[in-house]
Amino acid sequence: MSKFFAFLNRMKYIKRWSLMRSIREENIMEHSQQVAVIAHALALINKKIYGGDVDVNKVVLLAQYHEVGEVITGDLPTPIKYFNPEIRTAYKDLEEHACNKMLDMLPQTFREEYKELVLPNTDSYEYKLVKCADRLSAYLKCVEEVKAGNSEFKKAKASIGNELKKCKVQEVEYYLKEFAPAFELTLDELD
């Protein structure tokens, strides 16, 4: 009996942004879905705007599974995760162990296919786009919170916004110019 998918279902109970008070709670499952949508857009921008050759389907699948380890580890806030090299290394090792534990829950027949999604090649451009989508998701969460009057996210919004502008990834630059401004609008302004 495979417990992998039942365990994945727990993603909807693991809250994100645990150090900051949020107006709207977000869980890992919702976050993963948003990252998949953003990553899909980045992959399409790569292909249609810049003539790139990323595997769009792989980008979306990598994004969908990018937080699988957090089913076991929970979400560790970024300032803690990257506090120093020792913590960063220890957390990466913990994440890898958690991902392998999740993969062990699958029947052997499916492990290789899921392994490339759960423990991806971090040197691939597809993976880079997913990491960018993850940061864009964090930025858009900050935009949403600040727009709703939660000033606790102001500093994070500015910091992540500056980081995204400096990342020199053309797909991100395009997304920030063409799509991100709409997240600042009210529902009436979107109409």
Please name each of the domains of the chain with its CATH number: 4-185 (1.10.3210.10)
Residue 85 contacts residue 92 (beta carbons within 8 Å): no
Q: What confidence score (pLDDT) does residue 6 get?
A: 77
Give the tens place of pLDDT for each residue, 54-86: 999 999 999 999 999 988 887 777 777 777 888
Beta-carbon contacts of residue 123 (< 8 Å; ≥ 6 apart): none
Higher-pLDDT residue of 46 and 3 is 46
Tell me the C-alpha distance between 48 and 20, whole Å.
37
Q: Is 165 exposed, middle or buried (0-12, 13-18, 19+ CB in 10 A)?
A: exposed
> Model-level pTM?
0.87
